[in-house]
């Protein structure tokens, strides 16, 4: 066969237009194995995410119902901390030393196709083209020859490039549709190019849409008005659209919160107070809780996003202590330096006392929660992972908002997602 001379680059383009290798037996079997391995992993993660979403969507509804039923009971439980039984005072330990006698301190009280279905370009103008049909018929007629040609080519092509002359002897058997069905090759290329040029702008976007799920680990140092706390957990997010995603998660939080000091009876300003009176200075609580948030995330731009949602807050362990100011009347004896006689004075001793509270108001009350607001920045890491830094504010709602603890807290979430 006489070879028509062409420029190298044109020849290469033609050569690869419809080039194909010979199928290697066993490839399908190894592909099937890989496919089976990949699917269970994905299914496992999808199940976990589904459980999170289900929990996060069902629990707020239950919470509302339950909180309505329990509202009266909750009011009955509330009672001033200052009225704790005096019997507990036996366990009191003295924290501060005496303050000035008679001094009365006032305390003020203070919340995210595969490829998409790719449009297929039909070529109506070309469909009925006699040329294309003829070329296809030609192509089909050589299909039978292809197998033997492929085998022969496979043998020949093992030889190095430098032996091109030797290889040219087998030129007739080259496995290349383009040579024998040029028109058909051109048609498919035209279609391919048209489709690519139409969709080229979406390529990067589509890559992002590879998976709608996002999973991550997070740690979140946060501060209440009383102390700095820490929490850690798992998160998952499902991308609803380019801008919106729904996120849920579960985290274990340790929270130290200061309490709101209840209003105490008047008389502080009356000049004389009853002796042996206790006055509550502060309430401290150490909570260990499981927080399950659900939030709607809005992507502001490539790096920044904002999120708002609610979280279900289940207190696992609760330790409370009250700091009390205890006034007591003390008889003080002293010698008069001038006369040497013993005289007795009545003084008021003021002591600060820490008193553990056995009452656990929050533990087991699973119908409490927070409103969560945050703004975050995300940064890709090694193209596989994302780091998110997300300052947040959590404002107590429902039962928590009427509690005597100041549970409003804010902090920064550090999240690694994959």
Partner 1 sequence: MDNKNTMFREIIAGLAARDERIQERIYIHYWGYLMGISTRYFKDRNAAKEVVNDSFMKAFKTMYDFRHDHDLIDFQKTFKAWLAKITVRTSLDKIRANKSVLTYIDEYEEGTVGYVEVEEKLFAEDILKLLHGIPDLHRTVFNLYEIEGFSHDEIASLLTIPVSSSRTYLTRAKQKLRELYKKSIEITDETF
Site for partner 1 in 137-156 (CB under 8 A): 140-141, 143-144, 153, 156
Concatenate the DSSP letters of all residues of 230-242 into one string. Answer: EEEEEEEEEE-SS
> For partner 1, which is the closer residue by CB, 75 or 161?
161
Binders of partner 1 among residues 364 to 393 (CB under 8 A) are 383-384
Cα(216)–Cα(385) distance, rounded to whole angstroms? 9
In angstroms, what CA-CA distances link 402 with 126, 159, 292, 369?
74, 83, 20, 12
* DSSP 8-state secondary structure symbol assigned to residue 169: G
Closest distance between partner 1 and the C-beta of residue 407, in Å? Answer: 44
Which residues touch 27 (CB under 8 Å, ≥6 apart)? none
> For partner 1, which is the closer residue by CB, 90 or 114?
114
Binders of partner 1 among residues 327 to 346 (CB under 8 A) are none
> For partner 1, which is the closer residue by CB, 64 or 137?
137
Q: What x/- string results for residues 12 through 31 when contact with partner 1 is judged by CB under 8 A?
A: xx-xxxxxxxxxx--xx--x
> Count of residues binding partner 1 (CB under 8 A)?
78
Cα(75)–Cα(403) distance, rounded to whole angstroms? 10
Closest distance between partner 1 and the C-beta of residue 323, in Å? Answer: 58
Q: Judged by CB under 8 A, which of 133, 232, 393, 395 binds partner 1?
A: 133
Closest distance between partner 1 and the C-beta of residue 120, in Å? Answer: 5
Binders of partner 1 among residues 93 to 132 (CB under 8 A) are 113-123, 127, 132
CB 353 within 8 A of CB 95: yes
Alpha-carbon torsion angle 323, 327, 328, 331, nearest 10? 130
CB 317 within 8 A of CB 284: no
> For partner 1, which is the closer residue by CB, 110 or 116?
116
Q: At 406, phi and psi to the nearest 5? A: -90, 90
Under rule CB under 8 A, residue 361 binds partner 1: no
> For partner 1, which is the closer residue by CB, 200 or 341?
200
Q: Judged by CB under 8 A, which of 73, 106, 108, 165 binds partner 1?
A: 165
> For partner 1, which is the closer residue by CB, 170 or 262?
170
Under rule CB under 8 A, residue 200 binds partner 1: yes
The token pair that represents 11 in the structure block: 């020849």
Specify the stretch interacting with partner 1 by CB under 8 A; choose among 56-64, 165-173, 220-228, 262-270.
165-173
Closest distance between partner 1 and the C-beta of residue 215, in Å? Answer: 19
Burial of 140 (0-12, 13-18, 19+ CB in 10 A): exposed
Rg (CA), the chain: 39
Residue 176 burial (CB count, 10 A): 19
Concatenate the DSSP letters of all residues of 333-371 into one string. Answer: EEE-TTT--EEEEEEEEEEEEEEEE---SSTT--SEEEE
Closest distance between partner 1 and the C-beta of residue 309, in Å? Answer: 31
CB 365 within 8 A of CB 63: no
Cα(247)–Cα(296) distance, rounded to whole angstroms? 6
> For partner 1, which is the closer residue by CB, 6 or 243?
6
Closest distance between partner 1 and the C-beta of residue 166, in Å? Answer: 9
> For partner 1, which is the closer residue by CB, 17 or 351?
17
Cα(158)–Cα(166) distance, rounded to whole angstroms? 12
Alpha-carbon torsion angle 204, 210, 215, 219, nearest 10? -10
Binders of partner 1 among residues 201 to 260 (CB under 8 A) are 201, 203-204, 206-207
Under rule CB under 8 A, residue 33 binds partner 1: no
CB 294 within 8 A of CB 264: no
Closest distance between partner 1 and the C-beta of residue 382, in Å? Answer: 9
> For partner 1, which is the closer residue by CB, 139 or 350?
139
> For partner 1, which is the closer residue by CB, 143 or 223?
143
CB 102 within 8 A of CB 386: no
Closest distance between partner 1 and the C-beta of residue 189, in Å? Answer: 6
Local structure of 203: helix, strand or coil? helix
Closest distance between partner 1 and the C-beta of residue 212, in Å? Answer: 13
Binders of partner 1 among residues 40 to 99 (CB under 8 A) are none
> For partner 1, which is the closer residue by CB, 95 or 198?
198
Closest distance between partner 1 and the C-beta of residue 389, in Å? Answer: 23
């Amino acid at each position: 066969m006489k070879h028509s001379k062409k420029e190298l680059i044109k020849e290469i383009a033609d050569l690869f237009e419809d080039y194909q290798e010979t199928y290697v037996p066993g490839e399908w079997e190894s592909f099937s194995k890989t496919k089976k391995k990949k699917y269970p992993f994905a299914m496992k993660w999808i199940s976990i995410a589904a459980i999170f979403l289900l929990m996060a969507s069902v629990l707020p509804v239950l919470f509302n119902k339950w909180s309505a039923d329990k509202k009266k009971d909750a009011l009955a439980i509330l009672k001033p901390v200052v009225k704790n039984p005096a019997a507990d005072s036996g366990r009191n330990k003295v924290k501060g030393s005496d303050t000035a006698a008679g001094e009365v301190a006032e305390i003020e009280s203070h919340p995210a196709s595969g490829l998409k279905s790719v449009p297929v370009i039909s070529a109506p103008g070309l469909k009925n083209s006699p040329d294309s049909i003829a070329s296809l018929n030609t192509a089909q007629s050589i299909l039978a020859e292809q197998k033997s040609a492929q085998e022969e080519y496979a043998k020949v092509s093992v030889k190095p490039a430098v032996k091109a002359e030797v290889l040219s002897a087998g030129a007739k058997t080259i496995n290349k549709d383009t040579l024998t069905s040029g028109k058909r090759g051109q048609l498919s290329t035209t279609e391919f190019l048209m489709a690519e040029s139409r969709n080229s702008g979406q390529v990067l976007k589509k890559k992002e849409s590879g998976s709608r799920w996002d999973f991550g680990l997070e740690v979140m140092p946060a501060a209440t008005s009383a102390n700095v706390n820490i929490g850690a957990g798992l998160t998952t997010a499902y991308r609803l659209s380019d801008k919106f995603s729904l996120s849920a998660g579960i985290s274990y939080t340790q929270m130290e919160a200061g309490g709101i000091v209840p209003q105490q009876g008047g008389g502080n300003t009356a000049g004389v107070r009853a002796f042996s009176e206790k006055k509550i200075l502060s309430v401290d609580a150490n909570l260990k809780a499981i927080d399950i948030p659900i939030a709607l995330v809005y992507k502001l731009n490539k790096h920044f996003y904002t999120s708002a949602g609610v979280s279900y807050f289940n207190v696992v362990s609760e330790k409370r202590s009250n700091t009390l100011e205890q006034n007591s009347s003390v008889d003080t004896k002293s010698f008069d330096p001038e006369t040497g006689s013993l005289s007795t004075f009545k003084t008021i001793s003021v002591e600060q006392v820490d008193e553990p509270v056995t009452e656990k108001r929050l533990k087991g009350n699973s119908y409490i929660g927070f409103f969560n607001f945050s703004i975050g920045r995300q940064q890709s890491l090694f193209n596989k992972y994302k780091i998110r830094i997300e300052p947040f504010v959590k404002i107590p709602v429902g039962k928590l908002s009427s509690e005597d603890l100041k549970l409003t807290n804010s902090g920064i979430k550090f999240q690694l997602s994959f």
